[in-house]
Amino acid sequence: MLIIGIAGGTGSGKTTVVHQIVNELPETEVGVLSQDSYYNDTRLLSYEERTAINFDHPRAIDFELLIRHLKDLKSGKTIRQPIYSFVTHNRTEEYIITHPRKVFIVEGILIFTNPELRDLFDVKIFVHADADERLIRRLKRDISERGRDMNEVLNRYQTTLKPMHQEFIEPTKAFADIIIPNDKPNSVAIEVVRALINQKLL
């Protein structure tokens, strides 16, 4: 099984890059795991306590479960992938039955910060975008998809997103095998990655 890790700052366009890569590839051969599904289970905390969590710090991620699931998939086992709600800041009771594939893409802002997880990736890709562009994308997404208001998003950006990016995310660019600038469409880089996957599918 080929495992590709795709990291980058919030709003850098990781999800878009993933969609571009898997587009036109056989759905039965390529699977995706999102770090966002693996935030810690916080059902024992109140809603107020959950909203106070720094979700951009590595401690917020259940890396143990993500690593176990990835290893299970690699050994041919089916997993129950968690479903996380950004409205309630907690895992839901539901899950996604995820079967092994020839290729798995793991995407998330913090996936390169964990050495054990990082070592599972055959290819590491970092998606880079200008800080202003990332903030604009984050604003649009959180307001339209996650029910946040502008002041809340900007406050979170200043207090946690920006400092966490500088401390934990930007330094992991050094681990990348491929860096994709994503301030504008980059079809060449996408085609290179897609060609790599196609080789595995032959």
CATH code, domain carrying 113: 3.40.50.300
Place 34 in a pLDDT band, splitting at 50, 70 and 90. Answer: very high
- DSSP H helices, the chain, are 14-22, 47-51, 63-74, 115-118, 131-145, 150-156, 162-164, 187-201
Please state, in angstroms and rounded to a whole number, the distance separating the CA atoms of residues 93 and 154.
Answer: 30
- The per-residue pLDDT for range 47-65, each reduced to its tens digit, is 888 888 888 899 999 999 9
| Rounded percentage of the chain residues whose pLDDT exceeds 90 | 44
Radius of gyration over every alpha carbon of the chain, rounded to an integer in angstroms: 17
Number of domains the chain is built from: 1
State which amino acid sits at residue 97: I
Q: Please determine, for residue 138, whether its predicted confidence score (pLDDT) is greater than 70.
A: no
- pTM (two decimals): 0.86
Between 106 and 128, the higher pLDDT residue: 106
Least confident of 71-75, 108-112, 113-117, 150-154: 150-154
Q: Could you read off the pLDDT of 157-181 as tens digits, one per residue?
A: 777 778 888 899 999 999 999 988 8
* Domain membership of residue 113 as a residue range: 2-201
